[in-house]
Amino acid sequence: MVLWRDNIKYMTTENEKVKTLDEAMKKIVELQAEIKKVKKQKKYGLVWEDKKEQIVEDCKRNVPILRLKEKKKGIEPVVTTEKTKDENILIEGDNYHALSVLNYTHKGKFKVIYADPPYNTGNKSWKYNNDYVEKDDAFKHSKWVSYIDNRLNLTKNLLTEDGIIIFAIDDYEAHTLRLLMDEVFGQDNRLGTAVVIHNPGGRQDEMFFATAHEYMLVYAKDREKASVGLLNYFEEKNKSYQYSDDVSTYKLREFRRSGANSRRTDRPNLWYPIYVNSKTLEISTFKNNKWDVVLPIDNDGTERVWRWNAKTLEEKKDTYINVKKYKDGYRFYVKERSVDYKGEKPKTIWFRPEYSAVNGTSALKEIFSENLDKIFDFPKSPFLMQDILSISGDSDCWVLDFFAGSGTTGHAVLELNKKDGGDRKFILCTNNENNICEEVTYERVTRVMKGYKNKKGEKVEGLGGNLRYYKTDLVDIEKLHRTPDHAKVKLTYQAGEMIGLRENTLNEVEKNEWWQIFEGNGKSTAIYFKEDKEKLLELVELLEKKKTPAVLYIFSWGKNEYKSEYSGANIRVEDIPEPILEVYKEINRL
Ligand SMILES: C[S@@+](CC[C@H](N)C(=O)[O-])C[C@H]1O[C@@H](n2cnc3c(N)ncnc32)[C@H](O)[C@@H]1O
């Protein structure tokens, strides 16, 4: 650092001070050389040519907001089948814009974020700056990484402290994505990389290997706070419970340990004698001279240990231990009971016939039986999505899918809620390429909520649930630098629906030149557009009369100007639009 004091230039580095200008200049040259060297050094991690993305550049001059989707033939932006339930949200638009909005409205809200991005296979599967990225594009990897990096960075603040983010990916970019996620979330927060067998037969038209799998990368915001749930394989396991008694069906497992960590020297406290009554086959860990003594020793003399310590054995022996007498002695077995099965840790290979991609397509065909043209390429299997959600989320969490495509995640949330009585909610974001959002995502989710006729013409009951359909839009704030006042007023007028969403008060009940009011969930949110204090007092009075909790967003040029003045028993005051601008400045590194 260079300092001026008493007209003398000093330069300090960590440990040294220099007093003359010459010395200082020499040091600067040395430091510059050092910086150059460090920059040239190879580092471990992902290096790519940062390709500017127009969508991201646009956000330096425009603020993304949400508007309720316009009503039109076949589209009702608000779908309600259950009055008491929260609304799920569908956002149409580029997910960079949607994620930017969510950084203002839903910070720290999502327990689960799922993403199934275009895999960059080079088959015109995705567009970058309005052009399809072709197989022979020299920068196709850099473009893809820039595109994912831009979005990935916007997800971090959206996760709850114990939140989990899951990416689906195949071989083309699995390794780059993993390095990128290591960088954004930290290697230590990588909870697992699982292989999902989505095409058990393998793609036989491939040159050397027939691809049968893709990957699932799972990261936590903070591994210390995260947990991964168990997967229930009961249906598959059920056959293995071959025995039964008054308590339940069960299978047997030897009580003497074998394999790793099973020697007496490994776990000395699990080495103890068991006394057996030779007639009744009763057992005890307490010494009994009339009963036979059994120690955990293999036929070849190897000293092993029991599965439980003596105290646990005493507590559980009546319900859980089966004793068998053979010519050469006794054997003890643990009854592994079906009633105790709670599931098992997800393995690194996910292999169930239901996870096959064909189930994704057939689920869509069931719903869109009358118009198979609407079928969407590569939807995920709804069974796979349900299992992903059940290991990563709670029964009442918020789930975000920002490459929602045909809406499988929304469908899986509704199915799971129906199965276990849960109250999970979802936000789906997708663009409207080839009208997917309107004709597939919206249509699928609302049909599943309301019920539909399947391929055979049978009526399928609706699963219930509510949906609100928004579209992203941009407010031009370029003028902010020239006529900041005008741009701030403009943004305040247009941010209403986004603020209503932030406060979970979604229904607009009033809008005039002075204010806008939203209601929902027993609360109100008011946005006051002007500076006139008289009218503001009128609005405060109106909110006080409602007696329900209210949030009042007051237009102000800066921050915290009115907080104490207008906060009341039922009113919380917030500023607008500065906090919105701050979020955007931060995420766009302006
Ligand atoms: C691989 S698909 C997701 C499929 C989905 N998991 C399902 O089961 O239907 C990716 C989807 O993301 C959409 N998409 C691609 N880039 C996007 C972007 N920048 N913003 C929003 N959606 C995007 C594509 O249109 C496509 O529908």
Q: Which residues, other chains included, contact 434 with Cβ-Cβ below 8 Å and sequence gap of 6+?
A: none
Report the greatest alpha carbon distance in the chain.
Answer: 104
Q: What is the mean pLDDT of residues 341-361?
A: 95
Least confident of 49-63, 119-133, 148-162, 307-321: 119-133
pTM: predicted TM-score of the whole model, two decimal places: 0.87
pLDDT: which is higher, 12 or 48: 48
What is the predicted pLDDT for the residue at 255?
98
What is the predicted pLDDT for the residue at 322?
97
Instruction: Identify the band that residue 483 occupies on the pLDDT scale cut at 50, 70 and 90.
Output: low
3-class SS letters over 101-144 = HHHHHCCCCEEEEEECCCCCCCEEEEEECCEEEECCCCCHHHHH
Strands 87-92 and 425-430: parallel
What is the predicted pLDDT for the residue at 189?
98
What is the predicted pLDDT for the residue at 365?
92
Q: How far apart are CA 15 and CA 17, in angstroms?
A: 7
Place of tokens 């049968």: 212
The string of pLDDT tens digits covering residues 155-165 is 999 999 999 99
What is the predicted pLDDT for the residue at 224?
98
**Amino acid symbol at 290:** K
Burial of 517 (0-12, 13-18, 19+ CB in 10 A): buried
> Is the model's pLDDT at 398 over the cut of 90?
yes
Q: What is the mean pLDDT of residues 22-34?
A: 85
Q: How far apart are CA 130 and CA 393, in angstroms?
A: 35
> Is the model's pLDDT at 480 over the cut of 60?
no
What is the predicted pLDDT for the residue at 587?
87
Residue 433 Cα, ligand 1 centroid: separation in angstroms? 9
> Is the model's pLDDT at 482 over the cut of 90?
no
Instruction: Provide φ and ψ at 30, rounded to 5°.
Output: -60, -45
Least confident of 133-137, 382-386, 441-445: 133-137
> Is the model's pLDDT at 60 over the cut of 70?
yes
Residue 404 Cα, ligand 1 centroid: separation in angstroms? 5
Task: Give the sign of the dihedral formed by CA 182, CA 185, CA 186, CA 191.
Answer: negative
> Is the model's pLDDT at 13 over the cut of 70?
no
| Ligand 1 surroundings by CB, under 6 angstroms | 94-95, 116, 118, 126, 360, 376, 378-380, 403, 405-406, 408, 429-431, 433, 436
Q: Which residues, other chains included, contact 292 with Cβ-Cβ below 8 Å and sequence gap of 6+?
A: 275, 276, 277, 278, 330
Q: How far apart are CA 112 and CA 158, in angstroms?
A: 10
Q: How far apart are CA 395 and CA 386, in angstroms?
A: 12
Residue 450 Cα, ligand 1 centroid: separation in angstroms? 24
Element at 419 (helix H, strand E) = helix 408-420
Instruction: Provide φ and ψ at 525, rounded to 5°.
Output: -130, 125
pLDDT above 70 as % of the chain: 94
Residue 527 Cα, ligand 1 centroid: separation in angstroms? 34
Residue 208 Cα, ligand 1 centroid: separation in angstroms? 29
Closest by alpha carbon to 578, among 58, 60, 63?
A: 63
Least confident of 281-285, 374-378, 473-477, 479-483: 479-483
What is the predicted pLDDT for the residue at 22?
83
**Under DSSP, is residue 386 helix (H, G, I), strand (E, B) or coil?**
helix
The string of pLDDT tens digits covering residues 180-218 is 999 999 999 999 999 999 999 999 999 999 999 999 999
Q: What is the mean pLDDT of residues 113-120?
A: 95
Q: Any bridge partners for residue 284, and if so which?
A: 275
> Is the model's pLDDT at 7 over the cut of 60?
no
Q: Are 92 and 470 in contact (CB under 8 A)?
A: yes
Least confident of 11-20, 70-79, 456-465: 11-20
Q: Are 219 and 194 in contact (CB under 8 A)?
A: no
What is the predicted pLDDT for the residue at 445?
98
What is the predicted pLDDT for the residue at 567?
75
Q: In whole numbers, what is the pLDDT of the chain averaged over residues?
A: 91
Ligand 1 atom closest to residue 360's alpha carbon, by position in its atom list: 8
> Is the model's pLDDT at 326 over the cut of 90?
yes
The string of pLDDT tens digits covering residues 226-285 is 999 999 888 888 999 999 999 999 999 999 999 999 999 999 999 999 999 999 999 999
Of the CA atoms within 13 Å of residue 263, those in its CB half-sphere come to 5
Residue to mutate (ligand 1; options 431, 440, 445; most atoms within 8 A of CB): 431
